[in-house]
Amino acid sequence: MKGTRTPGMGKCGVVLSFLLIVFGQAGCQPAGLWGSSELAAGAGKAAWAGEAAPAAGSAREGAPSSQDGALSVKLATAKAQPETQPETQQHPRPKTAPKPSPAEAEKPTGSAGKAEKSKVVALTFDDGPDGKYTPQVLDILKKYNVKATFFVVGKQVEKYPDVTLRIVREGHDIGNHSWSHQDLTKLTGQALDDEIDRTQEAVAQAAGGYTPDLVRAPYGAISDSLLDYLHDRKFHHVYWSVDPRDWAGTPVAAMRENIRKHVRPGSVILLHSFGGRKHAIEHTVELLPQIIEDLRKAGYEFATVDEMIDAEEANASVIK
């Protein structure tokens, strides 16, 4: 019967069974040792297992093929070897996790899986240029290798084209702050067009064709209709998130503390390079080196507003 030993086989049967296993592993079978290949296979299986053949569908169904036998030998050999792997693998795994780069460390991932904002801030200067304070501001920025954004008034650009050109040549951004510093929410039609267009033309003429794509409405006065108007013309409107009130002549120490207390990643800091109360911008010039050093010590980097937009570091509530 298939899967059982033949009665009375004795030692010879055992020897023949062993020979069947050996020849079976080699892919051949000695003819005439058993009456049929089916009977030989049954005896071979019985001798391999040392018991009756398992029923069909069990984990050990049928005799092991030459591949199965080789696999069993490999598994047995692997179990006998130590568990440690050789040092020279094709793709060795690092024993410790690699440390993140500085750029990765500055962009931790929040609970929602979205990267948090980098510690980047933008310094912005309104109402210039002029021939006294704006050049001093530019000197300080150059000394500290900081790039900033200047929201210029068209009339001032017309008066100081050389300072406007210097702003662009030294790698800073220029934004449109209207022609005459009027409340744009109270203007419509041609009057509104003139405030924007004349400033665009003055900047382009002074700065070798540079055309701003940023607008900051004077006084921060903005409305839905004004935003729609600016967006239709492909401008971003830029508000601010930190205001030390330098235009009012605020003491330097108070402005410094204001910035330290309120700055956050993505902050846009409002300063002035012209205008304000008498001698107010002198305080700004004194303040500027101090806040640059303070913010750098706190791990912040500086960027222009356009750079923040391109890097998706801008706050949507500030830059629209």
Per-residue pLDDT of 195-229, as tens digits, reads 999 999 999 999 999 999 999 999 999 999 999 99
- Statement to judge: residues 200 and 290 lie in one domain: yes
- Catalytic-residue membership of 279: no
- Statement to judge: residues 143 and 268 lie in one domain: yes
Residue 317's pLDDT band (boundaries 50, 70, 90)? Answer: confident
Options 126, 127, 246, 306, the catalytic residue: 126
- Statement to judge: residues 275 and 143 lie in one domain: yes
Q: What digits encode the pLDDT tens for the residues 180-199?
A: 999 999 999 999 999 999 99
Q: Which two tokens stand for residue 245?
A: 């009130």
When pLDDT is averaged across residues 123-142 and rounded to a whole number, the result is 98
- Statement to judge: residues 278 and 162 lie in one domain: yes
- Statement to judge: residues 194 and 294 lie in one domain: yes
- Statement to judge: residues 139 and 286 lie in one domain: yes
Out of 97-101, 113-117, 156-160, 175-179, least confident range: 97-101
Options 172, 177, 237, 272, the catalytic residue: 272
Q: Is residue 4 part of a domain?
A: no
- Statement to judge: residues 150 and 269 lie in one domain: yes
Provide CB contacts within 8 A for 5, sequence distance 6+: 13, 43, 46
Q: Is residue 90 part of a domain?
A: no
Provide CB contacts within 8 A for 149, sequence distance 6+: 122, 123, 124, 125, 172, 173, 174, 175, 214, 238, 304, 305, 306
Out of 111-120, 158-167, 196-205, 259-268, least confident range: 111-120
Helix (H) or strand (E) holding 139: helix 133-144
Q: Is residue 110 part of a domain?
A: no
- Catalytic-residue membership of 172: no
- Statement to judge: residues 42 and 136 lie in one domain: no
Q: How far apart are the first and last CA of the chain?
A: 87
Is beta strand 236-237 parallel, antiparallel or unpaired with respect to 214-215? Answer: parallel
- Statement to judge: residues 161 and 302 lie in one domain: yes
- Statement to judge: residues 33 and 126 lie in one domain: no
Query: In the prediction, which pLDDT does 313 show?
Result: 87
The answer to whether residue 256 scores a pLDDT higher than 90 is: yes
Looking at the chain, the whole-number percentage of residues with pLDDT higher than 90 is 60
CATH number of the domain bearing residue 197: 3.20.20.370
In this structure, is the dihedral angle defined by the CA atoms of residues 122, 128, 134 and 138, taken in order, positive or negative?
positive
Q: Is residue 81 part of a domain?
A: no
- Statement to judge: residues 184 and 287 lie in one domain: yes
Helix, strand, or coil here: 125? strand
The answer to whether residue 243 scores a pLDDT higher than 90 is: yes
Domain that holds residue 30: 12-51
- The pTM (predicted TM-score) of the whole model is 0.65
Q: Residue 164, by phi and psi: left (phi above 0), alpha (psi -120 to 50) or beta?
A: alpha
When pLDDT is averaged across residues 260-273 and rounded to a whole number, the result is 97
* CA nearest neighbour of 123 among 253, 211, 277, 238: 238
Kindly tell me the burial class for residue 156, based on how many C-beta atoms sit within 10 Å of its own C-beta (0-12, 13-18, 19 or more). Answer: buried
Q: Is residue 183 part of a domain?
A: yes
- Statement to judge: residues 16 and 135 lie in one domain: no
Q: Is residue 17 part of a domain?
A: yes
Query: In the prediction, which pLDDT does 123 show?
Result: 98
| Number of folded domains that form the chain | 2
Q: Is residue 3 part of a domain?
A: no
The answer to whether residue 16 scores a pLDDT higher than 50 is: no
Q: Is residue 260 part of a domain?
A: yes
Q: What digits encode the pLDDT tens for the residues 56-84?
A: 333 333 334 443 444 333 333 433 444 43
Query: In the prediction, which pLDDT does 118 show?
Result: 85
Q: What digits encode the pLDDT tens for the residues 281-291?
A: 999 999 999 99
